[in-house]
A = this chain, B = another copy of it.
Amino acid sequence: MAGKISTYSGEPKWLNPREMAAWRSYIVASRRLLEAMELDLENHDLSMADYEVLALLSDAPGRRLRMSELAEIAMISKSRLSHRMKVMEAAGWVRREECAEDKRGYFAVMTDKGWKAIVKAAPDHVNSVRNRLVDHLTSKDQEDLSKIFNRVTEKLRDQFIKEGASIKK
């Protein structure tokens, strides 16, 4: 039994112009935005994903997190984190440490060099968030955006729970 049988039946409800405009403006802007922001970070030899990983580590107690937890909150797969860690380890930004309580586990630990790297990158990145997005929004816009996208995340989570229950992972 592979995946969900989801082939739609019945007349689909096409998007009206307002809906279409919302959807199109959203993806077009998102694509361009992320592209620009990745480019901004390249000056520090970082991708957004790598930045996120370092940022999360720098916030964590002892600047260390278990691999699984890091993958989870960075929203990337365990496998991907493993591979990236190898690269970041080679760059000297992080190192892995065995976990005493659970011998299967490892901690990702931020090194001093990693700390310096993110401290250096952070102002540029904040600047990028501002120049590329936040500063073009009024306070009201910012609040609208939060409300809208928090709702979207919430709905996605609900759907995930419902679908996840029936799809088996």
Q: Could you list which residues of chain A lie within 8 angstroms of chain B, going by C-beta atoms?
A: 3-4, 6-8, 12-15, 18-19, 21-23, 25-26, 28-33, 36, 40, 42-43, 75, 120, 122-124, 126-127, 129-134, 136-137, 139, 141-146, 148-153, 155-157, 159-160
Contact = CB atoms under 8 A, between A and B. Distances in A.
A146 B132 CA distance: 16
At the interface, is chain A mostly helix, strand, loop or mixed? helix
A153 B144 CA distance: 18
Contact of A23 (B14, B18, B129, B160): B129
B146 A22 contact: yes
Given A43-B3, A137-B148, A153 B25 contact: yes
A156 B12 contact: no
B29 A137 contact: no
Given A28-B75, A28-B153, A29-B152, 7 more contacts: A12-B122, A13-B130, A19-B130, A22-B143, A25-B145, A132-B155, A132-B159
Contacts of A21: 142, 146
A25 B126 contact: no
A32 B145 contact: no
A18 B143 contact: yes
B155 A22 contact: no
